[in-house]
Amino acid sequence: MKRLVPMWIAIVAGFVMLLSAFFPITESLGETMGDVFNVVAAIAFILGAGSLAKVNLAKISQRDQGWGYAAITLICFAITLAVGLGKFGVPPSAQFPALGWSGEKDAEGSIFGWIYEYALVPITSTMFALLAFYVASAAFRAFRAKNLEAILLLSTAFIVLLGRTFAGVVLTGWLPDWASGLRLENLSVYIMQVFNTAGNRAIIIGIALGVTATSLRILLGVDRSWMGSGD
């Protein structure tokens, strides 16, 4: 029963969502399913917050390595939750100017908005900026000319890279018009439009078929491993 009920919920919800994409009469049912998912996800957030608190409190109480960070996490979580729910510093909305809580929680001037703007955004931007260095290190490793395939990959990458810079235009700008197709900027466009698009579409077609087959396995109850090991 523990697995049968979730399986049938998934089957019914899945078929409703599928039909709602084609039959307008079931469209509202599909929207309802979407709403139900949002409600369940919102309720599940309580479980998530509980897990976060439990793990970090355990770390603090046991004085595990890095327990101080756990304390900071919990303090920040509590502060953000409090100022968000309490709408501290939220200016009244234009519609209800007499009511202090009528504005949006992240309106300009609110503490929640301030935390988002001046703490969260810079921190997440910093993490995102690290990506540039990781791209460089991954490219360095990927483009080592170890074998024929790697040499082809390296050559192609080199053409595309140069073709998208001024250097590429300058380097092959001397080529006459009848050989303009060999100019780096044109070669770059050709590689991206033909080879890259063809390969990408092949992957996307495979993904689409895979998604259909996977969905079908779940909807037909053939694959139940998302609820466990399938045994």
Partner 1 sequence: MRHPYVIHDTLCLDPSDPDWRFAGIVEKGYRALVARNAIANRWRMISSALILCVIALDSSGAIDSAPANTPSIITGNKVNLSSKIPFNELGQEVTVPPAAISVQARDVPWDAGGVIEVSWKPAPDTGTATKWVIERSEALQTGLTPWAFVAEVPIDETVVLAPKLSASASYFFSVTAVGPEGSSAVATTKNAVTPEWNFFIGAKLPLFCAILVVSACVIYYILAARRGRPMKVRRIAALEAITDAVGRATEMGRSILFVPGIQDMDNIQTVAGITVLGHVSKTAAEYDAAIEVPTSRSLVMEAAREAVQASYLAAGRADAYNADGIRYITDEQFGFVAYVSGRMVREKPAACFYMGCFFAESLILAETGNSIGAIQIAGTAESSQLPFFVAACDYTLIGEEFMAASAYLSGEPDQMGSLKGQDVAKAIAATLIIVGVVLATGAALAPQGTMASALEWLKGVLGS
Chosen residue from 54, 72, 78, 119 binding partner 1 by CB under 8 A: 54
Residue 127 near partner 1 by CB under 8 A: yes
Q: Does 21 bind partner 1 (CB under 8 A)?
A: yes
The rounded distance, in Å, linking the Cα atoms of 20 and 33 is 10
Verify binding: residue 27, partner 1, rule CB under 8 A. Answer: yes
Q: Which residues contact 7 (CB under 8 A, 6 or more apart)?
A: 221, 224, 227
Least distance in Å: CB of 183 to partner 1? Answer: 24
Segment contacting partner 1 by CB under 8 A, of 58-66, 94-102, 105-113, 180-188: 58-66
Please report whether residue 141 would count as binding partner 1 according to CB under 8 A.
yes
* SS3 letters across the chain: CCCHHHHHHHHHHHHHHHHHCCCHHHHHHHHHHHHHHHHHHHHHHHHHHHHHHHHHHHHHHCCCCCHHHHHHHHHHHHHHHHHHHHCCCCCCCCCCCCCCCCCCCCCCCCHHHHHHHHHHHHHHHHHHHHHHHHHHHHHHHHCCCCCHHHHHHHHHHHHHHHHCCHHHHHHHCCCCHHHHHHCHHHHHHHHHHHHHHHHHHHHHHHHHHHHHHHHHHHHCCCCCHHHCCCC
Under rule CB under 8 A, residue 187 binds partner 1: no
Give min distance, CB of 100 to partner 1, in A: 28
- Rank residues 107 and 227 by Cβ distance to partner 1 and give the closer one: 227
# chain residues binding partner 1, by CB under 8 A: 62
Does 135 bind partner 1 (CB under 8 A)? Our answer is yes
Q: Which stretch binds partner 1 (CB under 8 A): 83-91, 120-128, 166-174, 183-191?
A: 120-128
Q: Which of residues 60-119 bind partner 1 (CB under 8 A)?
A: 65-66
Does 46 participate in binding partner 1 (rule CB under 8 A)? Answer: yes
Interacting residue ranges for partner 1, rule: CB under 8 A: 21-25, 27, 37, 40-41, 44-49, 51-52, 54-55, 58, 65-66, 120, 123-124, 127-128, 130-131, 134-135, 137-139, 141-142, 200, 203-207, 209-218, 220, 222-223, 225-231
